[in-house]
Amino acid sequence: MKLVKAVLAASIGAIIASSSVQAKQLTIGFSQIGAESEWRTANTNDVKEAAKAHNVNLKFSDAQQKQENQIKAIRTFIAQKVDLIGLVPIVATGWDNILREAKRAKIPVLIVDRDLTVSDPSLYVAKIGTDSYAEGQKVYKWIDDYVKANNVKPRNGGDKLNIVILEGTVGASATTGRGNGFNDAMKADPDGAKKFNILASQTGDFTRQKGQEVMESFLKSNRNDIDILFAMNDDMALGAVQAIEAAGLKPSKDIIIVSVDGVKGIFQAMIDGKTNATVECNPLQGELFFQTAEKVLKGESVPKSVFVEEGVYTADKAAEVFPSRKY
């Protein structure tokens, strides 16, 4: 009987211990990079809504596009002894020291959306979000398929289609990943260099205003030579549309436009006949983030990279898909 009681007591203790994470309200610190685009706003809103659904005490910090603000926020989270920290890194490097501080404090860190580069991968538990390299590959494949299907010819009468690229923030993993994915896909295509020429590539900092300004610069130099625009996010593409129209050209017709994100604004632009396609970068990552956080805090193992699902959407399907878009 004593043995049975001892086993029963041990079992009850184990059950209580395993449910302790659920029993108390979790406090999680979340460092967001800012609000540079429609996509980022949707990402932020989704994280906040998911926090409520999971009954999490969320300490949210907007870094206003500055890494130093993110480092300060993480240091504050550590001082507050939060249970876990979520970080959307504005750039890929410069995180080792602050992540070591979190590790010394025994606070696990989940990276969200973007990637980072650290000397010791154990400084963070896992990365939640999107595959920017695959997004860049999808952009190239869509362009290649589209020009073949529509027999697109260079506007200047040359033998190659000229592509201009609006890059994202310098040093951001989304910029690097999408750029590398696109370039590698073009190199892997035996005829890629014969069909396409990268005429110009410059950062638009993931903002609509900078996208417009840089596209204006491209058009001043190469108005009659640009055939295709690859914008690394939708907001820059929407800014570029304004520049193209101001230059007396027709966006989506004179200049083919493909971008990344999949926000409602770009779907409306496709419906209006002003852009051609968008490769989805799904901002709805809140549920996956908190599910993963709860697993980590229960001591369960999780994959080092956890990706959300993403698709490719084209102008001919935009009106059909638009009503179901959540961002």
Task: Report the pLDDT value the prediction gives residue 270, as an integer from 0 to 100.
Answer: 98
259-318 tens-digit pLDDT: 999 999 999 999 999 999 999 999 999 999 999 999 999 999 999 998 988 999 999 999
Which CATH code, of 3.40.50.2300, 3.40.630.30, 3.40.980.10, 2.40.240.20, is assigned to 27-130+283-308?
A: 3.40.50.2300
Which of the listed ranges 11-15, 21-25, 34-38, 239-243 does the model predict with the highest average pLDDT? Answer: 239-243
Q: Pull the structure tokens for residue 281.
A: 């970068």
103-146 tens-digit pLDDT: 999 999 999 999 999 999 999 999 998 999 999 999 999 999 99
Instruction: Tell me the HSE value of 201 on the side-chain side, using a 13 A CA sphere.
Output: 16
pLDDT band with cut points at 50, 70 and 90 for residue 9: very low
Rounded to the nearest integer, the mean pLDDT of the chain is 93
Residues of the chain with CATH 3.40.50.2300: 27-130+283-308, 132-281
Residue 13 has pLDDT above 70, yes or no: no
Task: Report the pLDDT value the prediction gives residue 326, as an integer from 0 to 100.
Answer: 83
The pTM (predicted TM-score) of the whole model is: 0.82
144-193 tens-digit pLDDT: 999 999 999 999 999 999 999 999 999 999 999 999 999 999 999 999 99
pLDDT band with cut points at 50, 70 and 90 for residue 10: very low
Based on the number of CB atoms within 10 Å of its own CB, is 162 exposed (0-12), middle (13-18) or buried (19 or more)?
buried
- CA–CA gap between residue 183 and residue 213 (Å, rounded): 24
The CATH number given to 132-281 is 3.40.50.2300
Rg (CA), the chain: 23
Task: Report the pLDDT value the prediction gives residue 53, as an integer from 0 to 100.
Answer: 97
Q: Tell me which of 270 and 21 has the higher pLDDT.
A: 270
Q: Pull the structure tokens for residue 51.
A: 């926090």
Q: Give Cβ neighbours of residue 275 (< 8 Å, ≥ 6 apart).
A: 237, 238, 241, 251, 252, 257, 258, 259, 266, 269, 315
pLDDT band with cut points at 50, 70 and 90 for residue 23: low
